[in-house]
Amino acid sequence: MCTYYYLHRHHTPPCDRIIDYVMQYGFCTHATMDPTTGLALPCENLCFDQEQSVDYNNPCAMGGCTESPDCSSGACRLAELNGIWVCCECNRGGNVYRWCGHRMRSSPDTLCYHVCCKNCQPDEASMSLGREAPVANPVSY
C-alpha cells in the first residue's frame, strides 16, 4: 500500500511568501512507473499517513522544516521581478531566466550567469516596450 502525507517548505528572506505545502509519497512494491514521464505512480491502495502529516496551525511543531527550492533557485525572486529583470552585476536588462545570460564585457566568450537576487531590479524599459517573459514549455526528450 502506498502512502501520502504533506510536507511544508519555508521561503527564505528576502522572500516573504507564505509556507508551501507539498504532497510526499511513500511508494510500495505495487507502485508503477509512468512511461511518458518516468515518474513513479502510487498504487490503487493509496492511503493518507496521519503520523507524518503536518499540523496546519503550527507546521513546525513536528519538525521536518525544509527550504522552498523556489527561493534557493531564484524562481521566487524572478516572479517578484515580473519575469524580466536588470542584473545588478553587469547592469544589463532583458533577462527572462533566473540567471543573467549577457556576455561579459571584459571576456566576451563568458556569460555573466548571476542569479537574480534582492539587488536586481525589474526591467521596466523592456516591459514598456511590450516584451513579456516567455512561458516555459515542457522539455521533451
Burial bucket for residue 86 (CB in 10 Å: 0-12, 13-18, 19+)? buried
Q: Give yes or no for residue 89 having a pLDDT over 90.
A: yes
- Beta strands 3-10 and 66-67 are parallel
Residue 128 belongs to domain spanning: 74-135
Q: What is the pTM of this model?
A: 0.59
Q: Are residues 120 and 100 in the same domain?
A: yes
As a whole number, mean pLDDT of residues 111-117 equals 90
pLDDT 10s digits, 33-69: 999 999 999 999 999 998 877 777 888 887 778 888 8
Q: Are residues 67 and 85 in the same domain?
A: no
141 is a domain residue: no
- Number of domains comprising the chain: 2
Q: Are residues 83 and 65 in the same domain?
A: no
pLDDT 10s digits, 126-140: 777 665 554 444 333
